[in-house]
Amino acid sequence: MSAPLAEIRAALAGTPAWLVGGAVRDRLLGRGTDDLDLAVAGDPEAAAQAIRRALPSAAFRLSDAFGGWRVVGRGHAWQVDVLALQGGGLEADLAARDFTINAMAEPLEEGGQPRLIDPFGGAADLAARRLRMVGPRAFADDPLRTLRAVRFAAELGFEVEPATAAAVREHAASLAGVAPERIWAELKRVVAAPAPSAALEHMSDYGVTAIILPELEALRGVEQSVYHHRDVHDHTLEVLDAAVLIERDPAAAGLPAHADALRALLAEPLADGLTRGHGMRWAALLHDIAKPQTRRVRLDGRGAGFPGHHTEGAAVARDVLRRLRAAEKVGDHVAALTEHHLRLGFLVHERPLTRRAVHRYLVATGPVAADVTALTVADRLATRGRKSAPAIAAHLELADEMLGYVLAERAAGRRAPLVRGDELAAALGRAPGPWLGGVLAQLEEDRFAGDVVTRDDAVARARALLRG
């Protein structure tokens, strides 16, 4: 839903106000928006309250230095940020903004074709698909704009013009003093952009990555085994590209049997405005993050190995996301994918899989079983060294098979056990204790394998386990 602009105009009739920034940019790009920025020549609180009274919404003060207010529509269907004009007038306000494409305005007054106010050539830059800073102090005034340059270019498919790119490089180090929450708000959108690996390469070239994600820069030049064709850094970006492909078109990535169900699962919300697909992108970015510190040269002539990088990497991934102030749910999700990203590959040589092997995989990977299975495919597709073609084919076949089990279990939901723990203890004449958890877990595996079907089967099997 787009923001109800006509009602907002009516609510602010007689108040000098202008649409500014992204709302104007998006209109010129032919895109609807549910997020408006208003500049008012007066009290932003009074304007916000007028909108609140006119529409089903809530209004509250923003926690920034400009005294702005935000009005949020019912159900968060739209929002309007209202700020007082800065610098004493509209042109001074626009001159203090970051990029020319965000330094345009339109009077809020109703009627006729919107009148564009464009003192810095933003419309021409939009037409040229060019990102250009408004003035030489753009990045000195707010170093976060160095990262915003990457984000806008990535989301819009624009090029950063040379003078702006040079200014980004000059001011990138100042990002060290920016609040992590603000960095995360921009960085998560870079990774969620249509072509994130290209954006990350620009980010690195500008010197931004070294400041906000130094662990990623540390992957450069870390050579791998003969089964890889790239160093760890470039492999990581290829995994990210493959994860994006899986998110958009699982069949094209080699997972045709369950493509629709997997695409729907990856579109589900995770946290922080991210989907599970975006979570997989972050796991692709961080799955090998501990390889530099775990690298060991192999004695068999096959290059380097990285023992334990998956477990150590899970801890590093969680630490990185905690430092960035990501939601705890995002950190836990990405850490789980990192920890288990090798597990399916270990099963390739055990085919055909027994139902017991499948069950152990499902139990180990738990609620991220589908996500991590997809991630292993991205990892495998980006590993094209010695003997890669048969290895990729075998892995894709196994992953499609495993996804069938994962998605079927997910659709079935949590099943009641054949016998509850207290009932089992009573039937066996034993007091509940630590023994019970292991027995119940084994009974679930036996049930999945088809060897235990009824309650009596479960009790008999438990008695045999305890005797053994």
CB burial readout 413-447, b (16+ within 10 A) else e:
eeeeebbeeeebbebeeeeeeeebeebbeebbbbb
Over the stretch 237-281, which tens digit does the pLDDT of each residue have?
Answer: 999 999 999 999 999 999 999 999 999 999 999 999 999 999 999
Q: pLDDT grade, residue 466 (50/70/90)?
A: very high
Under a CB-based contact definition with an 8 Å cutoff, are residues 237 and 152 in contact? no
Mean per-residue pLDDT for 61-74?
85
| Rounded distance between C-alpha atoms, residue 375 and residue 369, angstroms | 10
Is cis: bond before 352, omega within 30 of 0? Answer: yes
Per-residue pLDDT band for 110 (boundaries 50, 70, 90) equals low
CA distance 94 to 120: 9
Whole-number Å distance between alpha carbons of 267 and 141:
37
pLDDT digits (tens, 9 = 90+) for 285-297: 999 999 999 999 9
Q: Region 323-345: what's the mean pLDDT?
A: 98
Question: How many CA atoms within 13 Å lie on the side-chain side of 371?
Answer: 29
The distance of Cα 336 from the centroid of its chain, to the nearest Å, equals: 14
Say which residues have a Cβ less than 8 Å from residue 300's Cβ, sequence separation at least 6. none
